[in-house]
Every structure is written in structure tokens, then in C-alpha cells.
Structure 1
Amino acid sequence: MDKVMISVAPVASTDKHIVPVDIADDVVRCWQAGAAMVHLHVRDAEGNLTTDMSLLEETLRLIRKESDVIIEVSTGGVSNLTIQERCVPLYSDLVEACSLNVGSTNLGKAVYCNPVDDVEYCIRELIKMKKTPEVEVFEIGHIYAMREFMEQYDFYDPVLFSIVLGHKGEAPATPQALAAMIQMIPPGTLWGITHANRRDFSIIAAALGMGARTVRIGFEDSNYLDPNTVAVSNVPLVEKTVRLLRAMDKEPMSPAEARQHFNILSR
């Protein structure tokens, strides 16, 4: 199946005005344009990471009312929350998948802390709550760490990796870094691409040519359509990704196709 799942991460970390109806409307239009998954964080009205699920659940109910897009919520983000607090979205019936962060890294001037004990707690809760993990790997060591976790824990097949490039302090968004990361992805798993601070689609195109099964796009990572143009909503980013897929003789997955392909099913 030469199809790719488009995931939209619609809310920038700098957004200080979180309005559920606006986010939901943007996501539904992205779904109509070809996105099969949405990636969100648990945020308060000022955009801060929080344990209060009320605004997020309002957003998710609005999204689910109008679409069948796959709902993924992050267990990460730079904050002072404990791992128990970061895992709050795992217990929502509206959430189908969650990000899994398996190692620490520098993100700009911040340190994104994911010590081993925290990682294992998150893994155990993901498995217990039957949520599909998307393993976000920011450098080669994270992939190696996940390979070891796969030997210790009973993950559902196939395990999905997201190669994250472009944050200052982590693996750069270069073809060389992308190729090195891909070579470390274990056999029998799937992988996709997230390009942070993106100004063009060249690394996304390279990843698609090398076998990426997911592309994450959206304001959380970048609002650039090209080096000289920024998007006013997430929809044009999804539309451009669809055009890129079709130019490469590929098609976007529907949510139903993605649920089957990545084993995101009711269990």
C-alpha cells in the first residue's frame, strides 16, 4: 500500500490563546483536506501544559462530532510536570494514541527530560490503557533505547517511530542525519518524519522517497509553506502535503486505513 498517513499538529507551543471551537474547526478542515490524525497537547487557556483536561476534552468532543480523524495526545513537552501528570491523557476514552518519548535531549536552551524510570512508567501505562504509542526519536540514541524497551515490553505490532529533526540541540534536518536515523530503525517497524522549524518541504520529500509512512505537519512544528510564505491556518500545509504525495505517486491514508495499517484499533 503506497499510502502515507498525514498527521496535523495544529497548535504552536507559542500560542497563548487556546479556543476549543477554533482548534476543532481547523482540525476538521484539515481532515477534509486529507489529514488522518491530529496531534494535540493538554493545555490551559493560555497555552501552558497542564493536567486539566477540560479544554482538551471539549476540543476532542467537537472534533469527534464532525470527523473520524485519529486522536493522538502528547505525553511530552518541556514543562515541570511529573511523568504521572504527563500521562493524564492516557485515561481519556477520546484518546486513541499517544506520543512516547524515550530519552532526554536539549531543545534550544531547554532540557527535555525523559529519564529511564519515567519512560518505563509511561510505557507501562500506555500498554495498560491500550493506547497506540508513536515513539518520538530526536537522535540515534533514542532509537537504540527503544530497541531495548521492545525487548522488555510487549508492544503491539507494528511499533511506529517518528523521526524528529530540526530542533536546535538535537539531530539536524539534513539528508545525512535522516539517513543515519533510518538505518537504526529496527526491522518490522514503521517510521515517519517530523521536521521542526521547517522552512521548506525538502526533508519531508526526502523522507517520503526513503519510505516514510507518516508525515507530521502543522503549526506546532512550522507554519511555513515555502521560504517566503507562511500559512494562516493549518489547512494549506495539509493541502501542500497531499500535493507532494501525489507528485510522488502516493496517496494520503484515510483515518480508517491508518487505523488498520498502524493497528490503532479498539482493544
Structure 2
Amino acid sequence: MDKVMISVAPVASTDKSIIPEKIAEDVLHCYQAGAAMVHLHVRDAQGNLTTDMSLLEETLRLIRKDSDMIIEVSTGGVSNLTIKERCVPVYSELVEACSLNVGSTNLGKAVYCNPIDDVEYCVRELLKMKKTPEVEVFEIGHTFTMQELMSQYNFINPVLFSIVLGHKGEAPATPQALAAMIQMIPAGALWGITHANRRDFSIIAAAVGMGASTVRIGFEDSNYLDAKTVVDTNAPLVEKTVRLLRAMDKEPMSPAEARQLFNIASK
């Protein structure tokens, strides 16, 4: 594959000031730099996960006004929300794709709980509302669980996995862990890389070289441009990712190309 979709997750979980105009401006600069997808959470003005979609939908309208980016919203994150509450973005007409978390996860000292009944509820709602799932897998067990779900539910092909490395308590961001995770991806599925707590681009480069279809970059995972440099907007991270792809004889996908590859209905 000579093209890779860049997804930008622009808001850090520690951000305590959610301003739609500021987020949308940052995201649109990322779009101009080569990002085809935006990944966001449903947050209130103080950055807390919530069921109130008002700030998110305002942000999404601003993004949609000036771009054709694929809009993905998370159904996850550490909170006290029930699975029904976490699925609120599934019903928004502005949302095209949603993250799907298929198992519980250690995130530092926190535990992100995803019991199988909750997972299956989320799967059913995503399929009912025709939202494209991006399956976030933090360990091999998650990948195996999704393989079992694929035998039980009628997912549209190809199923997209995001291999998430680098969280304390889960799979480390090492070449060995990456290789092991790739080996578990079911035949016919596609996969991408998310490197949490990233300080350099070495694992992203390794993933691209091993066939990643997507790269997620952005403040949700890290604001490091390199080991010594942090940035205050997301666009430089996208620009560096584009340079990396081109150095490896690849190009960033346009939103239209990504929609076609992942079977996402055009907006």
C-alpha cells in the first residue's frame, strides 16, 4: 500500500478548556497539512467526558463547514458513564466512524472497564446506526475478542484495527510488541498505529514500514515533535508524519480515498 490515512486526535485528556472554535481551527490546519480523519471525544467545557453533545457538535459543524474530513468520535475513555451514555455520539448525523473498545484496559493507575456485555451493546448500536468502527486493541486478547465478534456480527469489510502501544500497564511501544500485535490481526482486516506517550516517531515509522494503513497523531497521545521539542498546535505533528511517509515513498490519503478504502459512506 502506497498511501496511509493520517488521523488527528487533537485534544489531550488533560485539557481543561474545550473551545470549539480553537479546536476546529487547529483541526483544519491539520487537514490542510494532510490529515484525513479527526478523532474526538464528547467533552464539556472543562474537558470532562459527558453525554452533552452540544460543544462537540458545534466543533464538528465548524470542521465540516470547511473540510471533508472523516469525523470519528470515541465511545470510550475512563469515566463513570454507562455504556449507553458512552454511545451518545453513535446517533449523531455528523459522526461517520466511532472507536470500538473490545476489552478492559489498564491505563496507568486507572482501569478502563469494557465488560463483554457492554462491548456487544456498543457493537449492535454501531452496526444499527451504520457507523464505521475503528477497533482499538491494547493487547493481543483484545484482538482475539474482536475476531470472535467478527464471527458473530455482520461487520462491513474491511474491519479496521488500531494497534495502541505505550500505555503503562498495556502493550509497550517496542518493535517486538508491534510485531506480535500485527500477527494477531485477522486475515482481510486492515490496521493502523497509535503510539501513546510518544517521544519520537520510531514506532510509527516501523508500523508504516510493516504495512500500517493508518497513523494516529495528536495531543491525545503526545505533543512531542521529537525527544526535546513539544508543540502547541497539532499541525506540526501532521506535517512531520507526512514527511515521514514521503521519505518511505508513501503519500497521505485524501478523505475520499480513505472513505473508499474503509467503506465509509460519503458525507
Query: TM-score under structure 1 normalisation?
Result: 0.99
Measured on the aligned residues, the alpha-carbon RMSD in Å equals 0.8
Question: Match of 1:244, as an amino acid?
Answer: L
Aligned residues: 267
Residue 266 (structure 1) shift: 5.0
Show the 5 A alignment for 1:90-101: 90-101=90-101
Counterpart AA for 2:127: I
Write the letter of the residue equivalent to 1:67. S
Q: Is the 8 A contact 2:259 2:266 kept in 1?
A: no
Identify the residue that residue 234 of structure 1 maps to in structure 2. Answer: 234
Question: d(CA) in 1 for partners of 2:241 and 2:218?
Answer: 11
8 Å CA contact 2:162, 2:194 repeated in 1: yes
Instruction: Work out the CA distance in 2 between the residues paired with 1:209 and 1:66.
Output: 32
1:184-213 Cα offsets, whole Å, 9 max, x none, are 000000000000000000000000000000
Counterpart of 2:192, as a letter, is G
- Distance in 2, matches of 1:26 and 1:67, equals 12
Task: Please report how far the alpha carbon of residue 162 of structure 1 lies from its aligned counterpart in structure 2 after TM superposition.
Answer: 0.1
Shift of 1:232: 1.4
Matched with 1:30 is 30
Instruction: Return the TM-score normalized by structure 2.
Output: 0.99
Q: Which runs of 5+ in 1 are unaligned?
A: none
Per-residue Cα deviation, 1:201-247 (whole angstroms, up to 9, x for no partner): 00000000000000000000000000000011000000000000000
Question: Is 1:64 matched up with 2:64?
Answer: yes
2:186 maps to 186
Following TM superposition, where does structure 1 have runs of at least 4 consecutive aligned residues deviating by more than 4 angstroms?
none
- Check conservation: 2:218, 2:237, Cα contact below 8 A: yes
Q: Which residue of 2 aligns with 1:245?
A: 245
Q: Deviations over 1:10-41 (max 9, x none)?
A: 00000000000000000001000000000000
Residues 1:141 and 2:141 are matched in the alignment = yes
Alignment match, 1:127: 127
1:1-267 matches, cutoff 5 A: 1-266=1-266
| Deviation for aligned residue 1:265 | 1.1
Query: Which consecutive residues of structure 2, in runs of 5 or more, have no partner in the other structure?
Result: none
Aligned-partner Cα distance in 2 for 1:264–1:173: 29
Q: What CA distance in whole angstroms lies between the structure 2 residues aligned with 1:190 and 1:9?
A: 19
Do the aligned partners of 2:164 and 2:193 also contact (CA within 8 Å) in 1?
Answer: yes
Aligned-residue offset at 1:105: 1.3
